[in-house]
Copies of this chain bind each other. A is one copy, B any other.
Amino acid sequence: MEAPYIVIVSTGSEITAGRSLDTNSGWMANQLFELGWKVKKFIALPDDPDLILSELQVLKELTETRPVLVLMTGGLGPTEDDYTLETVLKLSGKKSYSVEKAKIRLQRIYESRGKQYSDILPTVLRQTHVPEDCKTLDNTVGIAVGFVEPIGPNSYLVCMPGVPSEMKEMFKRRLVPELKRIYPRENLVQRTKWLWNIGESLYQKDFVEALREELFKNVDWGVTANRGYIKCIFQSTDSKQLDTIIQRLEAQYPKIISDDVFEFVHEYLLVEKLTIAVGESCTGGLLGKKLTDSPGSSSYFVGGFLTYSNQMKESLLGVPRDTLNNFGAVSKETAEAMAKGISEKTKADYCVSITGIAGPDGGTELKPVGTVWIGLKTPDGSIQTHSYLFPGNREGIRENASNTALFLLYQSLKQRNV
């Protein structure tokens, strides 16, 4: 079957008024790319039922010439300006019904808060409604049920909540299996590798362009830029060809290549029953936050120190005043002393320290904004230190620093594995 013409529609006046950034569309486009599909268009509309309906009518007309897949988010909430269901019913001429499972779930939520079924407002109950004769998509995070409405030959309108956590869960668990069923693809294989502290244009020139003739026939590639790393994605029906590409990539970038660092670190520490603790200066808690993003992290994450001021570096982590005076808070020596202090206070197997200048102020000629030292104490007691000059603004530098610290940890764990 022909690949569908994919359009992503976001509804919400907060988006078209510029009060909220639409992050859903990009996220979905990225996920779809990993399934082998490219998006033709994003559309964002205010909460205006006439505008939404006329846009959907235009998209429905498109289905006369090709398969169309419309992914729409937003407008399924409990407020007056949530128009998605109403609009889809107008578009299809259908009626709606309340999904029993969702109604029971809503009731349980109300009861757990000491309220009764009769307390549920009609607009809240409306969230359990979907059009007749369509595939429903369960919401396991929030209330509003999603659905897949047929709009033409091999064409569908998918409606999902605009709350990112609800949409993402629904997309991955409920929608993707459905899409794979509707639009079967040849067995497309995908490989992903991460490269650290390299620009996407340089990678593109040195690797993809250089090897295009030799290796990239029948292979689709993509790259997504993140803070500190780029994700290199390769897709093909020929898995051997992909293996060859990955081998070449590993040979060309042996020192900066990795798999999914977050996943690996989580799994490895969990399985090997190792512990970790942190000491953060410029990242102010961001590394700790990242290390505790996944459920179960309490098995390995012991704790940490946010030593933002020099005084705290001294009193909490025992960094000698002489070290701070002679070398400065952002130095190899301080990163080392911090790692040592974390280890002494927590006895964790791995201890990571970060100290740097996130800016926009505080930079000097010798230590410009973006300078970051990272220390890593390993179970054998040795402490390695690394320095970086990260690009970007304050937020970028902080993200870069904490991601890179996790990469260093990854490398150390990998080596242990060998």
Q: Which of A117-167 contact B (CB under 8 A)?
A: 121, 123-124, 141, 163, 165
Question: Within the complex, what minimum Cβ distance (angstroms) separates A215 from chain B?
Answer: 16
Bound-state Cα–Cα, A303 to B338, Å: 14
Determine whether the beta carbon of A224 is less than 8 Å from that of B304: no
Determine whether the beta carbon of A312 is less than 8 Å from that of B316: no
Bound-state Cα–Cα, A78 to B202, Å: 9
Q: Is A229 an interface residue (CB 8 A)?
A: no
Interface residues on A, range: 35 or more
Copies in the complex: 2
Interface stretch, picked from A176-184, A391-399, A403-411, is A391-399
Cβ–Cβ < 8 Å partners of A25 in chain B = 18, 44
Bound-state Cα–Cα, A291 to B141, Å: 28
Contact status of A19 and B80, CB under 8 A, knowing A40-B51, A284-B291, A285-B289: no
Tell me the nearest residue of chain B to A302, going by C-beta: B309
Q: Which of A17-37 contact B (CB under 8 A)?
A: 17-23, 25-33
Determine whether the beta carbon of A121 is less than 8 Å from that of B305: no
Question: Within the complex, what minimum Cβ distance (angstroms) separates A84 from chain B?
Answer: 15
Q: Which of A25-84 contact B (CB under 8 A)?
A: 25-33, 38-46, 48, 51, 55, 77-80
Cβ–Cβ < 8 Å partners of A291 in chain B = 284-285
Task: List 19 extra interface pairs beyond A13-B222, A284-B291, CB under 8 A.
Answer: A15-B26, A16-B29, A16-B38, A17-B29, A19-B233, A40-B51, A41-B45, A42-B42, A165-B392, A169-B393, A283-B289, A284-B293, A285-B286, A285-B291, A295-B360, A302-B311, A303-B312, A305-B306, A306-B306
Residues of A at the B interface (CB closer than 8 Å) are: 10, 13-23, 25-33, 38-46, 48, 51, 55, 77-80, 112, 121, 123-124, 141, 163, 165, 169, 199-201, 204-205, 209, 222-225, 231, 233, 278, 280, 282-289, 291-293, 295-298, 301-309, 311-312, 315-316, 345-346, 358-362, 368, 392-396, 398
